[in-house]
């Protein structure tokens, strides 16, 4: 597989600072974009690259930029979504911590392409230690003429501000993020109007994820066509993956799109296999909001082909056999993992983080948590299992934002693939309790 693009030079001592970053090729893409290219040419390169949003949805970045209302006489804004709050995902935090100038460089080029003069980084409240790192990088960029008025002697001017949130998962949804940025409660907006026409302060706005924006600099440096040659099919370039769970080597990895899932799990270069040499039971490949798949389906598609780390391959098959790459939060479960307990834990999270605006999500997540609590704590009934499926179906597709789907999919997919385990919790509660005690004593 190809080498690193986003995490290139990450091991160079002092790479977080401007001088070392600059001496290793930093900001050359800004010079190229501002001195040799037009706004349209920068956008065209991003389009050619096939770059897709790395925050979860995988929507083509260049196409999203094209929706921006350029006819409006209102100011335009670019907002960086650094509210990384999906359980199992921590790659944006890693990138900002080690390579803040990589993000700043991408913001400058993207703002130039979009005709933006003011850019905001909305960062998760729990990441306050990163605020100082980002603000220092912004100050360094200002001091060296890459931010402020008439950057590099051109007519382009830009200021970047860091805005910490208060730690709400819902603010990872772009319209809730904009509400919070405006000083309001972080409730998702009804769309349309879309942010491209009426976003921050009622002005045309583009919201992109950290990893997405950080990829813009390398794309301009190497060219969109060269970037598109990396990866497989419509899943171009590289992707940062947050790997965690029952694996030998948890961490953040930059992979070339198209890497077989099996290689990612078992290769010493990546996850290194299952911890304690146990068997693989299941994987949630894109953060907790995407469907869980058992070992056989995560390693191969319903057609018997190897499952690949691409948007298309992970979604291959019908709803029952596919999942999503999502935000790249790769959670691995070994043979001893309790699917019921883990599903209950995820549901507790979504119930707590629901903004309460939509009744299917507000009430449904509460019901799922209560029923899963009953099953996990040996008080469940067989009818509870089908009740969970019905509640999940009543939530899915019936809310303003995707949090409802995010809460429903883990429950529905866990029961679909591991129904026997749910039934065992109901029919043999004493045996399940003894199994849990044995595992606690053993490990």
Largest CA distance in the chain: 74
> What pLDDT score was predicted for residue 273?
97
Question: What would the pLDDT profile of 189-201 be if each residue is shown by its tens digit?
Answer: 999 999 999 999 9
Question: What would the pLDDT profile of 119-130 be if each residue is shown by its tens digit?
Answer: 999 999 999 999
**164: β partners:** 123
pLDDT over 60 (residue 61)? yes
pLDDT over 90 (residue 305)? no
CATH 1.20.1440.230 range(s) for the chain read 339-442
Question: What would the pLDDT profile of 258-278 be if each residue is shown by its tens digit?
Answer: 999 999 999 999 999 999 999
- Mean pLDDT (the chain, rounded): 93
> What pLDDT score was predicted for residue 81?
97
Question: What would the pLDDT profile of 217-241 be if each residue is shown by its tens digit?
Answer: 999 999 999 999 999 999 999 999 9
Is residue 253 within 8 A of residue 243, CB to CB? The reply is yes
Q: What are the tokens at 369?
A: 């948590």
**CATH number, span 339-442:** 1.20.1440.230
Tell me the CATH class for 18-228. alpha beta
> What pLDDT score was predicted for residue 443?
43
**77: β partners:** 118, 205
> What pLDDT score was predicted for residue 318?
65
Please state, in angstroms and rounded to a whole number, the distance separating the CA atoms of residues 392 and 401.
Answer: 15
Please state, in angstroms and rounded to a whole number, the distance separating the CA atoms of residues 328 and 319.
Answer: 19
Please state, in angstroms and rounded to a whole number, the distance separating the CA atoms of residues 60 and 54.
Answer: 10
| pTM higher than 0.75 | yes
Please state, in angstroms and rounded to a whole number, the distance separating the CA atoms of residues 317 and 304.
Answer: 11
> What pLDDT score was predicted for residue 438?
58
Which of 103, 118, 112 is CA-nearest to residue 151?
112
Calculate mean pLDDT across residues 97-122. 98
Other CB atoms within 10 A of residue 109 CB: 25
Calculate mean pLDDT across residues 372-383. 94
Helix 100-114 and helix 28-36, axial crossing angle in degrees, nearest 10: 10
Q: What are the tokens at 428?
A: 């043999």
> What pLDDT score was predicted for residue 322?
87
CATH 3.40.50.11540 range(s) for the chain read 18-228
CATH 3.10.20.600 range(s) for the chain read 239-334
**CATH number, span 239-334:** 3.10.20.600
């Amino acid at each position: 597989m190809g080498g690193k693009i986003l995490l290139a030079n990450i091991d160079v001592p002092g790479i977080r600072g401007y001088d070392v970053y600059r001496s290793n090729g930093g900001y050359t893409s800004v010079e190229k974009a501002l001195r040799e290219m037009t706004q349209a040419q920068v956008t065209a390169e991003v389009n050619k690259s096939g770059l897709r949003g790395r925050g979860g949805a995988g929507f083509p970045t260049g196409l999203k930029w094209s929706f921006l209302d350029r006819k409006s006489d209102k100011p335009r804004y670019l907002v960086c979504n650094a509210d990384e709050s999906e359980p199992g995902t921590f790659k944006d935090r890693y990138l900002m911590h080690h390579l803040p100038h990589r993000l700043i460089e991408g913001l400058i080029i993207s703002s130039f392409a979009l005709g933006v003069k003011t850019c905001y980084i909305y960062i998760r409240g729990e990441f306050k230690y990163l605020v100082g790192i980002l603000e220092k990088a912004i100050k360094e960029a200002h001091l060296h003429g890459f931010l402020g008025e008439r950057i590099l002697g051109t007519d382009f001017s830009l200021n970047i501000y860091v805005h910490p949130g208060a730690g709400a998962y819902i603010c990872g949804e772009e319209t809730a993020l904009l509400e919070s940025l405006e000083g309001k409660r972080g409730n998702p907006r009804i769309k349309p109007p879309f942010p491209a026409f009426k976003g921050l302060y009622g002005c045309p706005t583009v919201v992109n994820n950290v990893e997405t924006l950080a990829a813009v600099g390398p794309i301009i440096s190497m060219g969109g066509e060269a970037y598109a040659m990396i990866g497989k099919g419509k899943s171009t370039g590289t992707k940062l993956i947050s790997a965690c769970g029952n694996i030998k080597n948890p961490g953040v990895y930059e992979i070339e799109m198209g890497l077989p899932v099996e290689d990612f799990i078992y290769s010493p270069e990546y996850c290194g296999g299952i911890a304690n040499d146990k068997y693989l039971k299941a994987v949630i490949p894109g953060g907790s909001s995407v469907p869980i798949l058992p070992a056989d389906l995560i390693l191969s598609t319903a057609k018997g082909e190897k499952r690949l780390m691409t948007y298309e391959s992970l979604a291959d098959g019908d709803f029952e056999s596919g999942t999503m790459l999502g935000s790249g939060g790769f959670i691995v479960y070994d043979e001893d993992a309790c699917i019921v307990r883990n599903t209950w834990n995820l549901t507790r999270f979504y119930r707590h983080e629901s903004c309460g605006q939509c009744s299917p999500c507000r009430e449904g997540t509460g019901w799922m948590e209560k029923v899963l609590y009953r099953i996990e704590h040996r008080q469940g009934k067989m009818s509870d299992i089908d009740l969970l499926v019905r509640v999940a179906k009543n939530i899915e597709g019936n809310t303003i934002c995707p949090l409802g789907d995010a809460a429903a999919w883990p429950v529905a997919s866990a029961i679909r693939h591991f129904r026997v385990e749910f039934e065992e919790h109901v029919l043999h509660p004493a045996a399940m309790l003894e199994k849990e005690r044995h595992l606690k004593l053993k490990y």
